[in-house]
Amino acid sequence: MLRLISDFSPTISQIWLSESICHSSLEKIIKSEIETFEKDISDNQFKLFLLYFLLLDIDLKYVEAYIKKIMNNIRIPVLKYAIFIKLNYYLIFKGGENKKLKDLLSKSIQEAQLNLDSKSDIGEIQRQIQKKRLMARKKIIV
């Protein structure tokens, strides 16, 4: 139970922050803070995780620009897991009918899964993503 709580704590913190203060008028402030914290990535990974996804929660147009930064800059295992969860969330609930976004998120989920476990089977990861895309499609239809 403790492991479950510790694995989901970063995701819960980020969602709470996003729901509390997320607004498009904060974009410049968030970008400025990201630039500041990127100067010392190793000591600011949790802050960067929160800010990167806060920016993406405001508008997914930043996903392409920030996804590589997120994958490269975050090295703490529990935060890698939280990245995997957030990307799946975006694919299922935010992808909509945007094929380019869905493809980018699918590729990023594969990369995030491999970052978590380099022994993962790519074929199995792709099958899981296809299931999620179908679930998202059914959600849109209903």
Q: What is the pLDDT of residue 43?
A: 95
Q: CA-to-CA distance for 26 and 58, rounded, in angstroms?
A: 9
In this prediction the pTM is 0.75
User: What is the reported pLDDT for 53?
Assistant: 93
Summarised one tens digit per residue, pLDDT across range 29-69 is: 999 999 999 999 999 999 999 999 999 988 888 888 889 89
pLDDT category, 15, cuts 50, 70, 90? confident
User: Residue 102 class from Cβ within 10 Å (0-12 exposed, 13-18 middle, 19+ buried)?
Assistant: buried
pLDDT above 70 for 138: no
68-122 pLDDT per residue, tens: 899 999 999 999 999 999 999 998 888 888 889 999 999 999 899 888 876 666 6
What was the pLDDT predicted at 78?
92
Using CA atoms, how far apart are residues 38 and 12, in angstroms rounded to an integer?
A: 23
Q: Tokens in use for 122?
A: 């790519």
pLDDT for the residue numbered 1: 63
